[in-house]
């Protein structure tokens, strides 16, 4: 292929080279028919295939399944499931003629308000990265490419096209880029999409540090970088920085700028050639015969069933007082389904990810079907679409609620609240729904609240009175059936939150700095995003990261480490036995966190480093194994521009959620990493005195009797350079300079 590419590049005119650097249309690349270079088609994801009005593809002619959105699927913590969804989407792409699916989006959930949170997985980079990798693996196994997006720090919609994310290098590396690195290292997505925003003052679309130094030189990414749609600011700067394809196209003005820049010597033609080569490589790979062999037949029914399974694995049972659920085990014969959303569910959020679903399962209908004919099911809408209290509707709902044994109350965020393009203003449910929950739970103690939303809502006004609470998410076209399956025990819930649900918005770490001002947003919370912050500040969330109940119970025992002491070149195997001690078959997400006991730089109290989902029958047990390696213990030290592993004690914590740790054990890790001396003129006297070599050098360089060994304790925190003053001139600036240079040799 390389030869063919070089040959084509050799035959292209400068103008043709520039024109292939932007798309041919909204969702396709430019063909060069003279040289048999075809055009390829792109389409949005992530939870289904969007046939854009402006694309050349025919809307509605082929199957497009609407799977649960990313915040739902992430709650399954099931990599195999995400891979299966990826495969199904890959098949649908093939069937439609799409070469690149513009997904997955793995941006970190910094604030619950980000309008696009429903499209993203988690507040945790490990979880986001693992699920993103599974998705990419699934899609690409079908010979269809993916676009890992939005690189990076597109964590809000407000001013997304101009805002500068002001973020320190350490959180940038450890939180915001870590998921991208994982996906790239594990699965090599065919493309990466840069974000709209600036990062520390430079547009992501022309950021040499992000697009070349990190992405290609450090992470060995060998695919193509595509702009988010209309994200290009300065096209020539973009080409230089490593942005290959501008979308959408055609972008004739920018193509001309590329030509002029080459002609005037501002842009080397060899750099342009590199970009053109990457575009050609993608086009040829996507249209290559081998790729075409992958199976493309789409079984719409099987995809619908997969969407239902995925939705049911994503539901999180947040609360289940008196074990009211599952309903099939209670002595009841009637159920009132209340809430407009039981009839008109929100399947997905707004914006570029919207899918035209192949069909829709309505919760009310599915509940009736799963409940069976003997069971009486009534319905009352309870609230109107507009956030207005309607007394008649409330009374009707209360009557239905009183008359039944149990109420399932469907509430959620109106469709227009969660969308690409803007953020939410608050975490509230509409007031008329809040009133309804309060009133219904007064007349019916057996009230089950079912949430239909893509990101957390505040619950403090009603949660005390709601004995049972299910987070049903934006569950896609088959979500109705999934809820019915959970209610009647056909499926045992196994979802766990992939993000913290705070009690109130003010508790969230980004609160003071979201969404920023004067075109800047300061990531002032640094590393302390999501549970890392709630842990550190000891704030009780409404529901913690990793939380989710089951109809059965699990016991954790026998936590074993393969070794008590390792060095950083060795892997550690951790095993734990998990037993289903209840009466139902169920699945458990076993979570492993690592905590560094005495770090040199500040570190979160614990961080997720592995997880496994296991299926267990009643009384069955399984040994779950995890492997940890160097990277799982390391942190990024911006002063050294390196990942560091320190010698020290590390706690290995295993549990059911970030706040329900069942077992712990300690490991001693010995680092073999040589940390270069960083003692400078600004290092404290204490640090200089502590170091053996520094002490020797001080004796050699400083005048006799002036070595700071015997200095008063209170002075030892002063920087070395202050010795000039303390010695009243006996130690000169020149001596300090010599000392520092000698130390750095």
Q: Which is nearer to ligand BGC, 350 or 544 (CB)?
A: 350
Distance in Å, CB of 695 to ligand BGC, minimum: 57
Q: Which is nearer to ligand BGC, 197 or 452 (CB)?
A: 197
Distance in Å, CB of 27 to ligand BGC, minimum: 8
Measured CA distances, 195 to 104, 229, 421 (Å) = 13, 9, 13
C-alpha 455: how far from chain center: 13
- Residues with Cβ within 8 Å of 41's Cβ and at least 6 positions away in sequence, in order, are 27, 28, 55, 56, 57, 97, 98, 99, 100
Residues 138, 103 contacting (CB under 8 angstroms): no
Q: Which is nearer to ligand BGC, 229 or 593 (CB)?
A: 229
Distance in Å, CB of 79 to ligand BGC, minimum: 23
Contacts made by residues 390-395, CB under 8 angstroms, sequence distance 24+:
390/432, 394/435, 394/436, 394/439
Q: Which is nearer to ligand BGC, 151 or 229 (CB)?
A: 229
**Taking each helix axis from N to C terminus, what angle separates 125-140 and 79-96, rounded to the nearest 10 degrees?**
40
Residues 650, 601 contacting (CB under 8 angstroms): no
Q: What are phi and psi of 549, to 5 degrees?
A: -95, 175
Q: Which is nearer to ligand BGC, 117 or 441 (CB)?
A: 117
Active site residue 228: yes
Distance in Å, CB of 386 to ligand BGC, minimum: 29
The site for ligand BGC (CB under 6 A) is made up of 44, 102, 149, 228-229, 352
Distance CA 483, CA 452 (A): 11
Tokens of 222: 């060998």
Q: What is the 3-state secondary structure (H, E, C) of 260-323?
A: HHHHCCCCCHHHHHHHHHHHHHHHHHHHCHHHHCCCCCCCHHHHHHHHHHHHHHHCEEEEEHHH
Distance in Å, CB of 191 to ligand BGC, minimum: 11
The residue with its CB nearest to ligand BGC is 352
Tokens of 590: 């076993």
Q: Which is nearer to ligand BGC, 102 or 204 (CB)?
A: 102
Distance CA 175, CA 123 (A): 9
Distance CA 101, CA 86 (A): 10
Distance in Å, CB of 159 to ligand BGC, minimum: 14
C-alpha 20: how far from chain center: 32
| Angle, vertex CA 74, rays to CA 71 and CA 80, nearest 5 | 145
Distance in Å, CB of 102 to ligand BGC, minimum: 4
Distance in Å, CB of 43 to ligand BGC, minimum: 8
Q: Which residue has the tokens 């003692």?
A: 679
Which residue from 548, 512, 518 is spatially nearest to 657, judged by alpha carbons?
548
| Angle, vertex CA 264, rays to CA 262 and CA 266, nearest 5 | 65
Distance CA 287, CA 173 (A): 35
Strands annotated E in 145-268: 145-151, 164-166, 191-194, 198-199, 202-203, 224-227
Distance CA 330, CA 325 (A): 8
Neighbour-count burial of 697, counting CB atoms closer than 10 A to its CB (0-12 exposed, 13-18 middle, 19+ buried): buried
Distance in Å, CB of 275 to ligand BGC, minimum: 20
DSSP structure class, residue 122: -
Distance in Å, CB of 229 to ligand BGC, minimum: 4
Distance CA 355, CA 52 (A): 9
Distance in Å, CB of 230 to ligand BGC, minimum: 8
Count CB neighbours of 96 within 10 A: 20
Query: Which of 228, 244, 361, 535 is the catalytic position?
Result: 228
Q: Which is nearer to ligand BGC, 27 or 367 (CB)?
A: 27
Residues 194, 227 contacting (CB under 8 angstroms): yes
Instruction: Cite the active site residues.
Output: 228
């Amino acid at each position: 292929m390389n030869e063919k590419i070089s040959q084509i590049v050799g035959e292209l005119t400068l103008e043709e080279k520039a024109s292939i650097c932007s798309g041919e249309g909204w969702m396709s690349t430019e063909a060069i028919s003279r040289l048999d270079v075809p055009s390829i088609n792109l389409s949005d994801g992530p939870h289904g295939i969007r046939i854009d009005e402006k694309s050349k593809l025919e809307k509605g002619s082929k199957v497009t399944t609407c799977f649960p959105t990313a915040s739902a699927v992430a709650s399954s913590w099931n990599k195999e499931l995400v891979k299966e969804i990826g495969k199904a989407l890959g098949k649908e792409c093939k069937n439609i003629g799409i070469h690149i699916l513009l997904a997955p989006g793995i941006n970190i959930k910094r604030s619950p308000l980000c309008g696009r949170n429903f499209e993203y997985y988690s507040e945790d980079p490990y979880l986001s990265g693992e699920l993103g990798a599974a998705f990419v693996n699934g899609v690409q196994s079908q010979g269809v490419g993916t676009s890992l997006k939005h690189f990076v720090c597109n964590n809000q919609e407000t001013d997304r096209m101009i805002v500068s994310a002001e973020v320190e290098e350490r959180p940038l590396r450890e939180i915001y880029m870590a998921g991208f690195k994982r996906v790239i290292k594990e699965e090599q997505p065919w493309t990466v999409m840069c974000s709209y925003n600036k990062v520390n003052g430079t547009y992501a679309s022309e950021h040499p540090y992000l697009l070349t130094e990190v992405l290609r030189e450090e992470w060995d990414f060998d695919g193509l970088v595509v702009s988010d749609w209309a994200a290009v600011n300065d096209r020539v700067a973009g080409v230089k920085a490593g942005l290959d394809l501008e979308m959408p196209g055609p972008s004739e003005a920018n193509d001309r700028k590329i030509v002029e820049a080459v002609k005037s010597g501002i842009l080397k033609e060899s750099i342009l050639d590199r970009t053109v080569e990457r575009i050609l490589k993608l086009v040829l790979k996507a249209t290559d015969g081998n790729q075409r062999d992958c199976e493309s037949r789409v079984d719409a029914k099987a995809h619908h069933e997969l969407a239902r399974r995925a939705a049911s694995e994503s539901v999180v049972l947040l609360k289940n007082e008196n074990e009211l659920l599952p309903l099939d085990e209670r002595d009841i014969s009637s159920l009132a389904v209340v809430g407009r959303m039981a009839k008109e569910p929100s399947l997905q959020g707004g914006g570029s990810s919207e899918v035209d679903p192949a069909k829709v399962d309505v919760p009310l209908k599915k509940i009736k079907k799963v409940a069976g004919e003997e069971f009486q099911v009534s319905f009352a809408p309870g609230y109107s679409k507009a956030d207005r209290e309607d007394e008649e509707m409330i009374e009707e709902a209360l009557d239905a609620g009183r008359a039944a044994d149990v109420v399932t109350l469907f509430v959620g965020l109106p469709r227009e609240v969660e969308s690409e393009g803007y953020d939410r203003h608050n975490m509230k449910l509409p007031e008329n729904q809040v009133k309804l929950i309060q009133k219904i739970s007064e007349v019916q103690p057996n009230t089950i609240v079912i949430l239909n939303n893509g990101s957390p809502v505040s619950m403090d006004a009603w949660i005390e009175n709601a004995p049972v609470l299910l987070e049903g998410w934006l569950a896609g076209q088959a979500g109705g059936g999934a809820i019915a399956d959970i209610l009647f025990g056909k499926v045992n819930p196994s979802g766990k939150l992939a993000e913290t649900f705070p009690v109130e918005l003010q508790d969230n770490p980004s609160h003071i700095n979201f969404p920023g001002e004067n075109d800047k947003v300061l990531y002032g919370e640094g590393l302390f995003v999501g549970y890392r912050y709630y842990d550190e500040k000891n704030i009780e969330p409404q529901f913690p990261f990793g939380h989710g109940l089951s109809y059965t119970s699990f016991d954790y025992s026998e936590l074993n480490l393969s070794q008590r002491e390792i060095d950083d070149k060795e892997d550690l195997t951790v095993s734990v036995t998990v037993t289903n001690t209840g009466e139902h078959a169920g699945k458990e997400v076993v979570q492993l966190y690592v905590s560094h006991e005495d770090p040199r730089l500040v570190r979160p109290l614990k961080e997720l480093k592995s997880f496994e989902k296991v299926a267990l029958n009643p009384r069955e047990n399984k040994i779950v194994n995890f492997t940890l390696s160097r990277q799982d213990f390391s942190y990024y030290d911006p002063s050294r521009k390196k990942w560091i592993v320190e010698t020290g004690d590390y706690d290995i914590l295993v549990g059911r959620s970030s706040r329900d740790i069942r077992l712990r054990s300690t490991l001693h890790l010995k680092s073999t990493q040589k940390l270069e001396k960083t003692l400078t003129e600004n290092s404290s006297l204490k640090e200089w005195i502590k170091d053996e070599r520094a002490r020797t050098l001080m004796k050699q360089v400083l005048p006799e009797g002036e070595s700071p060994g015997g200095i008063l304790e209170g002075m030892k925190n002063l920087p070395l350079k202050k010795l000039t003053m303390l010695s009243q001139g006996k130690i000169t600036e020149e001596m300090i300079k010599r000392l520092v240079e000698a130390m750095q040799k």
